[in-house]
Structure 1
């Protein structure tokens, strides 16, 4: 039986528990959405969230609060809150089978079918015709991943193909080498070029690592797209990863709004709200360009990883295993540019991205992007873009405070 909502006055804010594993970007962004709802309304909540961001359930049945918003992708959370007398809003994955939802709770879900469909359509638009999905081992806590598998299977069946799905091993230190070896072996069996959807950015990073280790060009031979748009993952990869942006902040705002209404006496038993993805952050890992020359593919693969470390044309040719003159000829035929110009393009793109963020000085940007001097970077900007680095910075973010 649900406990009646406690009366609220300006001096007695409602006490709300947030049961999330905030070490994950998905959970953090839901919490951000909850916070944004509180900031945009006159709601006053006293929030309980574990200090170390883990979701620890011991004693939650004795929580002397007024309501709970919880991640129901975790089976332990579902069990712990089964007989909870407080108003509860569940957040989690969407399910094809209605019986998989908690029957008596309002449920805010990420729309798995639309997440996978958006990634799949993006890879088709990149000119690919072979596709695969990198998932997670089947387990109660990975039910959301298996739902993404089902969505992928439906898309492939609609196109008249069987779905190529690899679940791999769980992530753990003892099994890490074996996991990468098996992943690399699976990649070798796929018909190339291939577009691969990873069920998370963490899985996408593993794919990219396996490709880098085996020398498989990304995205010419393997185009990779993840799900989560995790900024931490982007800092851990040499080749920037494309990713589907989930509507997690909207999920958090919606969950907070429902709980706010429930604390005022409203009830939403069995209500289900599916939140679609926001879009795709398109980066290098899916910018697939069909190329005839395997030498150009390997060269661009090397350049993507090391352009900002000051590499020269000779080093690229050594990596590819051909003479400099031969490689230059392949580049002129395929890309209508020199190897040096391709290296410079990547350095310039990296500098533009850093300047747009405004978290580094022009001198720092020059060093981090492999320019031999600040003056040389200025000369490149003037020649290629018709402006200085500072002018470019003002152009892309005119309202920001100058450095």
Structure 2
């Protein structure tokens, strides 16, 4: 079996494993590459998709292995008869294992600014954390907010990106002469789940209202929304929330759709593959590091703050966001607010220009649009989760409102944000 040091040098293309100098099914070269990237969440999967898209765009054949092929005994990577590695360098164990080895390595991760301390010359592509936070911050400013807070997490060697995002927030609000309101909370462990929302709720109660909260991840943003629900605070009128990652699953787990900043993970994967390809086939130097800008803000209901002065309307909208998908009707909303339906309709017409029934209908329609674009549920499940009484009724609504069926709507808009 060829060893990792059994390499050939071609003056045209540099150092190439001997077995990779052969043509393979019409391709110029073939390489065995392992992706030590977590494929369970959107972050890792999107990076892997970017790698695959780059490979498909070249004439170079890659035989790709995934982290799952090594995870139980990842140390065996040092004995693997392969050609290159793209690895998650937010994982210190992988970093220690791969630095100084014989295999060409490209790192991918969420942290960049302090890379000199731990990357040791390995090419690296990462998220632009200051840009992620700036995009969330400017979105909240555009929503008319003037108070801002940041829900972070205690930085560790596994999440240097968290410290960078927190620092970016502090710099932004300090430059705008706002108070730096940061809460790190505690790591999320099952035994602490009762304490986590209680402590978070205590912090949120101290914040000036209305306030826009940027969460360091979508998971932390979901905790903020749960704490607001327990406090009876209206999202987004009193607390506007935006996360980072744009994970569709995190949004689906909330009663109120979650706004989030989408990282450029697909582009990160493409650039990482390009870096590794160059290391495998060229004597040209590879850039030591590169940051990737965010894709943009996926603005959903959790951050679309509109100042409301009528407490009845604010309370009613909060109830509708929480329970519209369960098929509530206008009289139930009026009962929750504590007034008659006629009175509540009068308040809605004065404040928003439409009735309570129209507000419920609009929310259900927007929710169905979000779910159709996400493409994770069946059409009957979309109807159920949006509060429509039946799939047939949802079809009739889409025909009336958009001139198409839900299937046609999804085909036109899937992958686009509202």
TM-score by length of 1: 0.89
- Residues 1:170 and 2:181 are matched in the alignment: no
- Residues 1:271 and 2:284 are matched in the alignment: no
Tell me the equivalent position of 1:302: 319
Tell me the equivalent position of 2:11: none
SS in 2 for 1:15: strand
Label 1:168 to 1:353 Cα distance change in 2 as closer, same or farther (>3 A).
closer
Label 1:62 to 1:203 Cα distance change in 2 as closer, same or farther (>3 A).
same
Deviation readout 1:291-332 (Å, 9 max, x if unpaired): 012221121111112112210122112222333333223212
Q: CA deviation at 1:22?
A: 2.1
Label 1:366 to 1:135 Cα distance change in 2 as closer, same or farther (>3 A).
closer
Label 1:362 to 1:97 Cα distance change in 2 as closer, same or farther (>3 A).
closer
- Residues 1:215 and 2:232 are matched in the alignment: yes
Tell me the equivalent position of 2:271: 254
Q: CA RMSD in A?
A: 2.7
Q: CA deviation at 1:355?
A: 5.3
Tell me the equivalent position of 1:10: 23
Tell me the equivalent position of 1:229: 246
SS in 2 for 1:285: coil
Label 1:168 to 1:66 Cα distance change in 2 as closer, same or farther (>3 A).
same
Tell me whether 81-90 or 353-362 shows the greater mean CA deviation. 353-362
SS in 2 for 1:298: helix
- 8 Å CA contact 2:248–2:374 kept in 1: the answer is no
Tell me the equivalent position of 1:205: 222
SS in 1 for 2:159: helix
Q: CA deviation at 1:49?
A: 1.4
Deviation readout 1:129-162 (Å, 9 max, x if unpaired): 0001111112111211001011111101111133
Q: CA deviation at 1:237?
A: 1.0
Tell me the equivalent position of 1:42: 59
Label 1:360 to 1:76 Cα distance change in 2 as closer, same or farther (>3 A).
closer
Separation of aligned partners in 2, 1:233 and 1:53: 28
- Report how many aligned residue pairs link the two structures: 397
- 8 Å CA contact 2:209–2:239 kept in 1: the answer is yes
Tell me whether 13-22 or 30-39 shows the greater mean CA deviation. 13-22
Q: CA deviation at 1:366?
A: 4.6
Label 1:139 to 1:189 Cα distance change in 2 as closer, same or farther (>3 A).
same
Separation of aligned partners in 1, 2:78 and 2:362: 58
SS in 2 for 1:371: coil
TM-score by length of 2: 0.86
SS in 2 for 1:16: strand
Q: CA deviation at 1:56?
A: 5.8
Residue in structure 2 matching 1:76, options 60, 69, 93:
93
Q: CA deviation at 1:178?
A: 0.4
Label 1:52 to 1:119 Cα distance change in 2 as closer, same or farther (>3 A).
farther
Separation of aligned partners in 1, 2:174 and 2:339: 43
- 8 Å CA contact 1:303–1:343 kept in 2: the answer is yes
Label 1:378 to 1:398 Cα distance change in 2 as closer, same or farther (>3 A).
closer
